């Protein structure tokens, strides 16, 4: 079976959901990405990525309770599935192996 491939933004999203744990929904994922990567993804780009990851079985989603500050609308919470954890771990292991023994000019530690 072919290993699951992940794009760069897909990895960012998966790692962010893992960081946020039970509090991962659209707004919190966007804020967390902005804090840690110095870029603010558009909601459209985030939703299409989340939908694609869900279609591929890498994340699951469920609806929370409606809240007043959202006009009585529920949050859609995301969790990384076992398949998603395995995929992101495998890609990150590959990055770490590639970085071993490499000195990046002007960077104290990678």
Partner 1 sequence: MRKDTVGEWILRLVMPGERATAAVGDLLEDSAGRDSSWFWTTLAWTVGSTVWREMHTHVWRLAGITTAGFFLLVILGLGANLAAQAAWAILHFVRDHTGVELLLPGDSLPTAVPGWIVLSYLRLLVPFEVARWVARRVRGRELSAWLVMMLLWPVLAAWTKSPYEFVWAALFSFLGVVCERWRTIRFDSLTQG
Residues lying near partner 1 in the complex (CB under 8 A) are found at 25-27, 30, 42-45, 47-48, 51-52, 63, 67, 69-71, 73-76
Q: How far is CA 38 from CA 58, 81, 95, in A?
A: 25, 26, 21
**Cβ of residue 108: shortest distance to partner 1, in angstroms?**
36
- Select from 59, 61, 8 the least CA-distant residue to 37: 8
Residue (63 or 89) nearer to partner 1, CB: 63
**Cβ of residue 27: shortest distance to partner 1, in angstroms?**
5
Residue (2 or 69) nearer to partner 1, CB: 69
E-state strands within the chain = 59-67, 73-80
**Cβ of residue 60: shortest distance to partner 1, in angstroms?**
14
Is the distance from CB of 88 to CB of 9 less than 8 angstroms?
no
Residue (51 or 96) nearer to partner 1, CB: 51
Q: Which two tokens stand for residue 9?
A: 């933004």
d(CA 16, CA 27) in angstroms, rounded, equals 12
**Cβ of residue 107: shortest distance to partner 1, in angstroms?**
33
């Amino acid at each position: 079976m072919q290993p699951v491939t992940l794009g760069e933004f897909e990895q960012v999203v998966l790692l962010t959901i893992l960081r946020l744990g039970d509090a991962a929904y659209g707004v919190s994922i966007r804020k967390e990405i902005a804090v840690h990567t110095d870029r603010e993804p558009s909601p459209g780009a985030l939703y299409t990525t989340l939908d694609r990851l869900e279609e591929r079985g890498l994340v699951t989603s469920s609806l929370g309770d409606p809240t007043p500050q959202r006009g009585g609308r529920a949050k859609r919470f995301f969790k990384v599935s076992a398949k998603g954890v395995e995929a992101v771990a495998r890609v990150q292991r590959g990055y770490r192996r590639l970085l071993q023994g490499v000195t990046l000019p002007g960077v104290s530690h990678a």
